[in-house]
Structure 1
Amino acid sequence: MNTKPYKTLIIDDEPPARLRLKSMIADFPETFNLIDEAANGNEGIEKIDRLNPDIIFLDIQMPDLTGFEMLKQLTKIPIVVFCTAYDEFSLQAFETNSLDYLLKPVRKERLAQTVDKLRFFKKEQQSEQLIQMLQQFTGSSSPTTKLTSLTIRSGKKITFIKLGEVSYFKAEEKYVTVHTKNGEAHLTDQSLIKLASQLPDNFIRIHRSIILNKELVKEIQPYFNSRFSFRMEDQKLSTIVSGRSYQEIIKTWLKI
C-alpha cells in the first residue's frame, strides 16, 4: 500500500452523494487525500488530466456522459471505484476489473473494505482489463441472439410487443418505458444497457437514456450544442433530442 495517501477525486452528478462520500473519505485520512470533485463526466476528464489523481470514485449514471463513456476518453486511467444506485450491472465483472464497486448509499463499513483492497490491488493490471469490460458493457460486442419482440408484464397480464411497433425506449430513474408507434407506453423491467445489447441493428442509442427505431424516424434536424432533433413517425409525432456524446455515432449512421 502507498506510504502517502492516494490523491482522490470524486465524480458524481448528485451533490448529496458527493457530500456523503466526502464525509466518509475524511474518516480515512491515511488512505485518501481528497483533492477535488466533479459534477459530470466532461468536468471529470478535465480534472483527471489536470490533477492526475491516483484514484477516482466514479458514478456510472450521469447526464450526457456516463462513467463508462468518460473512461473511454481518458488517455491515462487512475484506479477506479465505481459508485451507482443501480445493481443491474455485473458485480463480479466490476470487482475483477476495477478496485471496487460500491452501491449507493455508500456505507462506511463497505468503504473500509475498499481500503483493505488497496493493499493488494495491482494498478498495472487494471487498464487493459477495464477497457475490455467497457467494451462489453457499452455493447461493442454483438450477442448471438437478437430480440424480435418484447414481453411486458403488468400484474397477471402479459403483453407481447413486436419490435417493429416500438418507436423508442426511454429510461427514467430505474425504469424503461417502451413507446410504441400507436402512442402507447409500457414499462419494462429490462435495463437500457441490456436492451442495447440485444436489439437488432435498426435500433440506435442517441442519448444515455434513449434508444430509437431508425425505421420510424421521419425527420432529423441539427440541434444546438452538437445535438440532433429527431421527429418520429408515430401517432404522437414524438420529438427526441440526442445527447452530445452520441454525435459521432449519429453521424456515422447518417454518413455525414
Structure 2
Amino acid sequence: MSAAASPAPTALIADDEPLLRDSLQRSLALLWPELRVVAQARNGREAVELFELHRPDIAFLDVHMPGVNGMEAARQIARQAQVVFVTAFEEYALQAFERGAIDYLVKPVDEARLADTIGRLKERLAGRPGLGAAHPAALEAVIDELARRMARAPASTVPAGGALAAETGPLQWIRASVGSTLKLIPVDEILFLRSDEKYTLVVTAEGEALIRTPIRELIERLDPQRFVQVHRSVVVNLHAISHVTRGPNETADLHLKARPEVLPVSRSYLHLFRQM
C-alpha cells in the first residue's frame, strides 16, 4: 500500500493594501501551485484571528499595518507557523533578518527573491513536526531588532517600489523597481493605472508593475489629452479604449483593445464619454 500523500501546505497573507495581497497571491500561485492561500487579512488583528481559525503553515505578514502591526502579530503566530515578513524598507530589514530565524520579502515582491524564500520554506516544512522557528530566542531577537530599527527610522524614509522618472513637465517614463531590477516604462505604453491607498498598479499590454506613488500624484503629471480619470482609483489611456458600454445609474464600463479587464466609469466621470 502506498503512503498517504502529504497535505497541501497552506498560507495566510496579511497586508493592508489589496493590490499587494493580490499580487503576492498571484506570484505564489505561479511559483508554488501546491500552496493553498486559505485567508487574506487587512491588519494584524485580523491576521491573528484568521490564523487561529485556519491554522495555516505559513504567514506572510506586512510589517506596517494599522493597529496591530506585523511584528505584534508575529509574536503570537511565529512559534506555530513559518513567518515571512513583507516590508517596503529593505535598508533596515536586511540585517535584522540575516540571522535566519524569519525570512523577509521587499515590496514590490521580486519573483526571483520569492522563489528563494519558497525553497527555504519547503525545506523547513519538510522537517515536521514543529512548524515554528527552531530557536524561539533567536526568533524573538529578530522581531525585537526589527522593532528597534522601525522606531529609529526617520519619518521621511522613502520605501522601495517606484517613482516618477522626471522632475518637471509631463511624464515620459515611469520607473518601477522590482527587486534588483529597474524597469523604465514608457508612459505611451501604459493602458491604465489602478490604485489603492499607497500603491499604484501600472498596466501595459505586456504586463504589470507596482509602484509606490499615489495615483493622485501621477494624474498631475500625465498628459490630460491622453490620460483621464474615470473612477477614484482608475486612470485610463484614451488610446487604449476599444468601446464603452452604458450601465445602470449613470455608470459605464470601458473595454480595452489589448487587455481583458473591464474598467468602471463612475457617475462623476461619465460626461467624458457622452460623445463616444
TM-score normalized by structure 2?
0.46
